[in-house]
Amino acid sequence: MRLRNVKNATEILNNSKVLIKEPTQYKGHFQELFGNNNPIEIEIGMGKGDFILGKALKNPNINYIGIEKYASIIARAIQKIDPLDLPNLRLIDTDALKLGDVFDHEITKIYLNFSDPWPKTRHAKRRLTSDWFLPVYESISIGKPVIEQKTDNIILFASSIESFSANDYLLEEVSLDYNSEDNVETEYEKKFRAQGVKINHLIATKK
């Protein structure tokens, strides 16, 4: 994701009410952070936060955590989310490979929206649905991992289907032109749909 550097990003992060500053201290106890036993769903690579914010507003009985590793990007999301003071939405700035240090079998669903496709073959392992990442998702999920993916990139989508199938996941709701009344759009998705770009979508559940 490309975004101009935010000069005061560090200050925005330090002063945020929704950013979890030391997430590893809540490992295995995130329900205590939210103060309830509601399910916890995460979005990895949340961008500027349109999707995770929309989900939190729409579903007050579900707790959401947005994950983003780039300070300038998460700063933009904080500027949007902080003033709303939603009790069921928090943010974490970390890399997806480090999620095993943050969560311990407490996530009910994982969203991967318009992730970096890493189109070159030599970079395939960096894709968020590769063999590098699936074991991480399994270590943080309650029971069988449930992963929902949206992307405009057909190469990434095909690679994801191959990876999920090879790792014993059941593929549901596979679509090359996704439309749903329940859909919450990301900022990229809004732009792509306006341009007539078709959206690929699936839900993968470990068998």
Distance in angstroms (rounded) separating the CA atoms of residues 52 and 58: 10
At 20, phi and psi to the nearest 5? -85, 110
Which residues are tagged catalytic? 116
Report yes or no: 144 and 206 within 8 Å, Cβ to Cβ. Answer: yes
Residue with tokens 């032109």: 177
- State residue 146 phi and psi, 5-degree precision: -120, 120
Tokens of 26: 């809540």
What SS3 class is residue 147? strand
Cα(7)–Cα(17) distance, rounded to whole angstroms? 19
